[in-house]
Amino acid sequence: MKLMRYLNPAPMIGGLEVSDLALRFLRFEDEKLKQASVALPPGVIVDGKILERAKLISALGVLHAQIDKPKKIAHAVVVMPASNVYTQSFSMPMVAEKKVRGTALVNMQTVSPIDSKSAYSDYQVIGETKPGQIEALGAFVSAQEVDEMVAALKEANFDVIAVEFVGMSLMRLVKNYSAGLKQDTPYLVAHLSGDGPDIMIVKNGHLYFNYFHSWTAIQTEIGGRKMAAKDVEDFLATHIRQVLNFYTSRWGGAIKDIVLVQNPIAKQIKATIQQSFGIDAQLLTIGKYNQLSPLWYAALGAALRGTTPRSKDNDLTLTATGVDVGYYRSCGCRCCSYWLLCVAYYFWNKYASSSGSTSRTSASTTRHSSNSSSIAL
């Protein structure tokens, strides 16, 4: 096994966030973080849709040059824009393990907010609602949008291991690195990303609920005028109330803890939450990597997924295939290359030994003939 790991080392997998405004890549390398980023020109991606493919591929090429050599494949868990990703929790009967996926897929067709024939979807089990019932979170996205994204990434020498959304990446970060949060306590997490506000419910290391609204949509709702901090505060107050009520009606009990991802107006938002709900919101503290700007949190969460062995990665992926197809394809190609080198070296060594032996035999024969001639004389 050690020889196989030496001959065919596992490729490093990073996290790549693709947003309307920027590309951010992060990868763990020997306990250090490798970071690379490229700002996207306005209009390349709008509300999660690729409008200028050539410019996106060019930007991805610039990003790749910061990460690896030009022809080397960069493996990544991709965090796609949240604008067009839909999530929905659902319950299903507890069945035998081999029947869980089939049962979940049937339920997902029922709850899907978009046509299931033109969508990629996946799920992950998040717990039990009551005896005999399994709770799962389903995610849905337009297959065309994912295919366009994956094709652009492939053209720029990126291999897509899995596709997820910001809520999934942040949940993983909260689960693994957040300081002071209790595992079995439900938390409402509010995050202001570059694309818009994200409101999530996290409990027991799982994402239970995710709501995203783009800045473009909010600006339209306020009449197209320039957005102010008060508009963001009002939006969060309204939708946090809705999410808190939804949790109570769906799962019972009440959420008493709200976590904010640091942002420029965090102080004002904390004051609004205190005034509206009587809750003292806390700022998310990422113990081990607290020096990172929150702009990198989605990429960090995805990179953390990349460190999980492929056989143990059970998180959902919004792709046509599972989380390991491209990865194992790459491993197989590298393994073949190493074995071909080994075979070539073996035959070269054998040929060299044979040639040396022939030369020594020839030299010995020549000396013997010379000695024979001397005796004859």
What is the tens place of the pLDDT at every residue in 123-178? 999 988 778 899 999 999 999 999 999 999 999 999 999 999 999 999 999 998 88
| Average pLDDT of the chain, as a whole number | 86
From residue 58, how far is each of 18, 63, 82, 100, 103 by CA, in Å?
14, 9, 22, 42, 42
pLDDT in tens, 43-65: 999 999 999 999 999 999 999 99
Q: What is the mean pLDDT of residues 277-291?
A: 91
Q: How confident is the model at residue 345 (pLDDT cuts 50, 70, 90)?
A: very low
Residue 235 contacts residue 218 (beta carbons within 8 Å): yes
Token readout for 328 is 């194992």
Q: How far apart are CA 13 and CA 364, in angstroms?
A: 58
Q: What is the mean pLDDT of residues 80-109?
A: 92
Q: Torsions phi, psi of 229, nearest 5? A: -55, -35
What is the assigned CATH class of domain 1-81+141-176+291-340? Answer: alpha beta
Higher pLDDT, 255 or 179: 255
Tell me, what's the pLDDT at 336? 42
Inform me whether the pLDDT recorded for 1 exceeds 90: no
From residue 331, how far is each of 9, 74, 310, 324, 335 by CA, in Å?
8, 13, 12, 10, 6
Residues 6+ apart with CB under 8 A from 182: none
Task: List the CATH code of the domain at 180-284.
Answer: 3.30.420.40
Range(s) for CATH 3.30.420.40 in the chain?
Answer: 1-81+141-176+291-340, 180-284
Q: Torsions phi, psi of 186, nearest 5? A: -75, 135
Inform me whether the pLDDT recorded for 297 exceeds 60: yes
